[in-house]
C-alpha cells in the first residue's frame, strides 16, 4: 500500500474492522504523547484547564513583563518547559548547581533563574511539564526580562500559600444593604480560615474593616469567582 492508495490486488479497505475496540486515550495522556512525538501540543494546551486558577493567583502574566520595573516582587503561574543546569562561577556558592527553566503561560514564556539555595529547597517541584507558581523578582539586566525565583509553589499548594487573606474594596456610593448581605452570604457558604478585610473608599480616603471571624473563608475558585463577579475583579485580591 502506498501513501496515495493501494497497489496490487490486495484489498485493505476493511482492515479497520479487524482492529481492537479500545477506548480513546484520556486527554492528558494524548497531550503528553503529542508533546513527546512532535515537541508541541496539537489538540489543546494543558494550561487551558488551569487558566482561571493561574489568572486568579498570578500578579501578572508574561505579556505584562515589560510594564514593570527592576526587582518588582511578583507571582506568576505557568508550565515548566525546558530545564537546564549550570554551575555558579562566582560568589560564596561558586561551583554549586543552579537551574534555569522556561515558564510558559497562555500569553508567552519567560526564563526563570533558580540559584543554588533556592534550587536546593525546591528541587522536588522542578519537574518538566508540570504547572507551578513562581514567586520571585523581575530582572531586566539581560536582553530579555527574566525572573529570579525565591520559591516554587505546586498547583495543589497554591491556595494554602497564596490565599491566606482576602481583601475587598468597595466604593462608599456602591455600598448597599443588598450587596453587604450578598457578601456575607457568599462568605458563610465558603467557611474556612482565611480572614476577610474590607476597605471602603470615601471622598476623604479609605476606611478599613475586618469581617467577623465567623466569616473567615475558604477562598476556592467558586468563592473567588462569585466575589469577583459581585465586586469587580479590580476590587478583589488574595494576599499572603
Q: pLDDT tens digits, residue range 18-45?
A: 878 888 877 667 777 777 777 766 666 6
Q: Does residue 199 register a pLDDT over 70?
A: yes
Given a contact cutoff of 8 angstroms between Cβ atoms, the answer to whether 115 and 121 are in contact is no
Q: Which of 65-69, 89-93, 120-124, 221-225 has the highest mean predicted lDDT (pLDDT)?
A: 120-124
CA-based nearest residue to 72, from 155, 165, 146, 126? 146
Output the pLDDT for position 67: 85
3-state SS, residue 101: strand
Mean pLDDT, the chain, as a whole number?
Answer: 85
CB under 8 Å to 139, separation ≥6 — which residues?
70, 71, 113, 145, 146, 147, 148
The DSSP 8-state label assigned to residue 43 in this structure reads S
The answer to which of 90-99, 176-185, 189-198 has the lowest mean pLDDT is 90-99
pLDDT, tens only, 129-180: 889 999 999 999 888 899 999 999 998 888 888 877 898 999 988 889 999 9
3-state SS, residue 90: coil
Q: pLDDT tier at 62 (50, 70, 90 boundaries)?
A: very high
Mean pLDDT in residue range 88-104: 85
The DSSP 8-state label assigned to residue 193 in this structure reads E
As beta bridge partners, residue 98 has 86
Mean pLDDT in residue range 187-198: 90
Q: Please identify which residue in the block is written with the cell numbers 479609605.
A: 206
Mean pLDDT in residue range 91-118: 89
Given a contact cutoff of 8 angstroms between Cβ atoms, the answer to whether 76 and 151 are in contact is no
Alpha helix (H) ranges present in 77-138?
A: 116-122
Assess if CATH 2.40.50.140 describes domain 49-158.
Answer: yes
Distances (CA, A) of 53 to 29, 120, 156, 173, 215: 22, 27, 11, 31, 23
Q: What distance in Å separates the CA atoms of residue 115 and residue 87, rounded to the nearest whole number?
A: 10
Domain ranges within the chain, ordered by starting residue:
49-158, 163-239
Amino acid at each position: 500500500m502506498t501513501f496515495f492508495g493501494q497497489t496490487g490486488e490486495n484489498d485493505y479497505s476493511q482492515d479497520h474492522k479487524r482492529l481492537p475496540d479500545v477506548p480513546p486515550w484520556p486527554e492528558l495522556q494524548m497531550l503528553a504523547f503529542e508533546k513527546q512525538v512532535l515537541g508541541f501540543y496539537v489538540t489543546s494546551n494543558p494550561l487551558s484547564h488551569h487558566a482561571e486558577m493561574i489568572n486568579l493567583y498570578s500578579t501578572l502574566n508574561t505579556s505584562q513583563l515589560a510594564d514593570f520595573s527592576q526587582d518588582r516582587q511578583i507571582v506568576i503561574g505557568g508550565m515548566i518547559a525546558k530545564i537546564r543546569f549550570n554551575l555558579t562561577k562566582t560568589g560564596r556558592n561558586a561551583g554549586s548547581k543552579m537551574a534555569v527553566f522556561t515558564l510558559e503561560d497562555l500569553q508567552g514564556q519567560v526564563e526563570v533563574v533558580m540559584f543554588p539555595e533556592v534550587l536546593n529547597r525546591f528541587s522536588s517541584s522542578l519537574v518538566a511539564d508540570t504547572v507551578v507558581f513562581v514567586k520571585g523578582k523581575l530582572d531586566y539586566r539581560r536582553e530579555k526580562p527574566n525572573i529570579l525565583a525565591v520559591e516554587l509553589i505546586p498547583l495543589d499548594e497554591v491556595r494554602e500559600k497564596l490565599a491566606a487573606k482576602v481583601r475587598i474594596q468597595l466604593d462608599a456610593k456602591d455600598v448597599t444593604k443588598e450587596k453587604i448581605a450578598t457578601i456575607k452570604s457568599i462568605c458563610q457558604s465558603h467557611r474556612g480560615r482565611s480572614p476577610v478585610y474590607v476597605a471602603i473608599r470615601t471622598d476623604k480616603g479609605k476606611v478599613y474593616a475586618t469581617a467577623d471571624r465567623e466569616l473567615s473563608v475558604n477562598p476556592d475558585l467558586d468563592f473567588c469567582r462569585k466575589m469577583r463577579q459581585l465586586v469587580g475583579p479590580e476590587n478583589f485580591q488574595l494576599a499572603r
